[in-house]
Chain A
């Protein structure tokens, strides 16, 4: 059984339909990526999973439990961590404050990722623990955003465009961090990316989204080989 199972999800804003029946599954311990052009519904999928918007139809099951339509508070308490676009670091709070804010969420203390233990693994952040969010670089903010979700005791990380707007070297650092969280801490990752190359490098499994529907599903290696799919739905070439 998959850790996260999304079935026939339909959602939108106002009258506008964005998701037209998205189904996907993420197994525990996997890194799964969701790729697609701008505006095809990648972010909306994540938002519907975490409960930031209420789906019109379809189901979201997490860890065997139906979590469709629950509030973010409830889904986060169950172990889903959402790292939204543009990182959303609290600009006026220090690194430590940003992290300790997340400390309660759903932790029945069993796992116990404390602020300190997370800072230990995020060295660049450890050096800047007293800097406020607004004074961090884009890469540092992204690290902080991921670290924050880890402190909130996420077992599944929903990452929305974590490499957007970062310099190539920093992209590598963030990718390493995601890989590390997955391999060492056993965090399951659902990664939304425009940067297909990086996404496929990280992922085990990939879904391609177009106009609110899943148009391709396969292993990351398969997608890399399927040049017709890439051309048609992603419109970029990978080298």
Chain B
């Protein structure tokens, strides 16, 4: 018993140290530069791969790798800071999320291109293999090695932060960047250094974990979210918080796995949500006045309202007529699969924009409603009524109160913390399909009704093989009805639902409700002083948004003929943010164009290169640096550039190419 506990503590501290190394870099980078670096996990992976390369080459070896890999990754980090992050300083941290999300795609694909998708093995040198005995217990040497190296690095970082001039400047910079420049210090130089240092720590973390957990392209994904949890728990920007949070999360996670397995994977997110609700600045963070830079919302551009309406009607008409060409100009697959996906994601992006572009709430957990909508829709078809309409309605009906509750809890925290708490909720729900048995075991008490128990969700295998029908209780099956050219009737159902949702959203935004929301986005305090209940308005928007996202998820699940855990993966939240910003948030049609562009470019690249994600990533990076207002802003920019004639001239070079991509 005691030895089991010691072993678990040791395991917990080992993984905890890896979190410390990861979180230290993330946290300091955030503290000094306000940059939320999603690519940190890929730097971690890159460290492991560079290490693998050095360790397996002639004359190399593990110890050489331990020196070379962090330095190499530091160089990569410095280059990232210098050429991609630096142009964005002073903008809202959201742009860094988008930028680093693009970098994730680039780095991940780069790794796959060089080293292939198969996992690699890296063995530890003999000195740190095996076990050692002391005080009547047996310890794996490797754990001791990881803990030792982590402790040394953490102590070294602490000393550097608190007892060197570099550390002094960095700490001062995280408190008041501008004042540091008034003292004659060129803080930009330090930024590159901090970023490179954080990258090196991440690389070491990846490398020391490699002999234990292996090296594979997905390793960055698997650590980045827990690392964020650690950073938020400890307090953004706090080094002490990163250390305490990292070790704490490592130990709690490991101990939970053996003693309260139902909570494994959940407990860290519960902890994060709890801490954010009670103490939004985290355990050791300073309550900092967050000076968020401006979000660039797109304006209507050069089109008049009437012209835009004509274009919109034309696009819808084209989409409605598109099946006529099916089988002749293109295969029905194009419409049944690609177009349906574009449409449902357009709706998902629209729903996100409703809160992000109009209420200024950057939700990193919107996939929660998308996934819940999808699961509920599928479950209704499987267990209750097979009706498409009813199932979708129930899905939306569940998402609305869910969004109300989560909005109630989340909207009290602002900015980055809101993003993190929504991410926490989404990750919490993402665990549920794999934990049905354990959760039901908890619920299996006599004083709880049995209908409260969860239905089988089959974990990662997902729920497939559903038979939805178009009638209320029976009627033709969804798979069976085709309109012209082999196009499923479902295509029209999706089209109608998306167009209807768009009209609803537009109506709401034109109503006083929408004006108040935009007022809140522009100047929250002023809106409050005028007498509006800002929180209530935001929450209402969040509820509407949750419902629309649920509808999008339900539609996509029906099109896919089922649902699986990928519907709840955080990466989907990232994708939908990318689409929204790509198109131009703050306009309802912009994000929808963004969805079209995203899948259009993907479809175009797919046959050309296996590295389509990487190319897409490069495009995002360029986009976020050069076109932060999104696709919808391009015509106005182009017009301004060539403004020879009178302003507001005829939109000749209109519309964006994307319009046609969706419409053809």
Contacts and interface: CB of A to CB of B under 8 A. Distances in A.
Interface of A: 50, 52, 71-73, 76-77, 82, 84, 88, 90-93, 97, 100-102, 104-106, 148, 152
B528 interface: no
B181 A72 contact: yes
Contacts of B185: 73, 101, 104-105
B176 interface: yes
Contact of B186 (A73, A93, A97, A152): A73
B185 to A, nearest CB: 7
A88 B181 CA distance: 12
A92 to B, nearest CB: 6
Given A52-B181, A101-B169, 4 more contacts: A52-B178, A73-B181, A88-B179, A104-B165
Nearest to B178: A52
Contact of B182 (A52, A91, A93, A100): A52
B504 interface: no
A90 B172 CA distance: 6
Given A101-B168, A101-B169, A90 B182 contact: no
A90 B179 contact: yes
B183 A97 contact: no
A100 B168 contact: yes
B281 to A, nearest CB: 13
B182 A76 contact: yes
Contacts of A97: 168, 172
A76 B168 contact: no
Contact of A72 (B172, B176, B182, B286): B182
Given A91-B175, A92-B286, A82 B168 contact: no
Counting chain A CB atoms within 10 Å of each CB, the highest count among B176, B178, B182, B185 belongs to B182
Interface string B577-593: 00000000000000000
Interface in B159-174: 165, 168-169, 171-172
Contacts of A100: 165, 168
Contacts of B181: 52, 71-73
Nearest to B183: A102
Contacts of A52: 178, 181-182
A78 to B, nearest CB: 9
Nearest to B288: A91
A152 B183 contact: yes
Contacts, number: 60
Nearest to A100: B168
Nearest to A50: B182
B143 to A, nearest CB: 35
B531 interface: no
In the A-B complex, the 7 residue pairs with the closest CB atoms? A105-B184, A76-B184, A88-B179, A72-B181, A102-B183, A82-B182, A73-B186
A146 to B, nearest CB: 13
B169 A84 contact: no
B178 A76 contact: no
Nearest to B187: A73
A27 B520 CA distance: 49
A93 B172 contact: yes
19 contacts: A50-B182, A73-B181, A73-B185, A76-B182, A76-B183, A76-B184, A84-B182, A88-B182, A90-B171, A91-B175, A92-B175, A93-B168, A97-B168, A101-B169, A101-B172, A101-B180, A102-B184, A105-B184, A152-B184
Contacts of A90: 171-172, 175-176, 179
Counting chain A CB atoms within 10 Å of each CB, the highest count among B169, B178, B179, B186 belongs to B179
Interface string B176-198: 10111111111000000000000
Query: Interface residues of B toward A: which range?
Result: 10 to 19
Interface in B129-175: 165, 168-169, 171-172, 175
B169 to A, nearest CB: 7
Contacts of A77: 184
Interface string B265-290: 00000000000000000000010000
A97 B162 CA distance: 10
Nearest to B188: A73
Given A52-B178, A90-B179, A72 B184 contact: yes
A104 B168 contact: no
A90 B178 CA distance: 11
Counting chain B CB atoms within 10 Å of each CB, the highest count among A82, A101, A104 belongs to A101
A95 to B, nearest CB: 13
Nearest to B185: A73
Interface string B14-53: 0000000000000000000000000000000000000000
A93 B168 CA distance: 8
Contact of A93 (B175, B184, B286): B175
A76 B178 CA distance: 13
A147 to B, nearest CB: 12
B282 to A, nearest CB: 15
A92 B172 CA distance: 8
Contacts of B178: 52, 88
Contact of B179 (A84, A92, A106): A84
B182 A92 contact: no
Contacts of B183: 76, 101-102, 105, 148, 152
A97 B179 CA distance: 14
A106 B183 CA distance: 10
Counting chain A CB atoms within 10 Å of each CB, the highest count among B172, B180, B184, B185 belongs to B184
A100 B663 CA distance: 64
Contacts of A72: 181-182, 184
Nearest to A105: B184
Counting chain B CB atoms within 10 Å of each CB, the highest count among A72, A76, A102 belongs to A72
Contacts of B182: 50, 52, 72, 76, 82, 84, 88
A52 B456 CA distance: 62
A126 B172 CA distance: 21
Nearest to A76: B184
B186 A92 contact: no
A101 B172 CA distance: 8
B288 to A, nearest CB: 10
Contacts of B171: 90, 92-93
A84 B178 CA distance: 10
A108 to B, nearest CB: 13
Contacts of A50: 182
A162 to B, nearest CB: 15
A26 to B, nearest CB: 19
A93 B183 CA distance: 15
Contacts of A152: 183-184
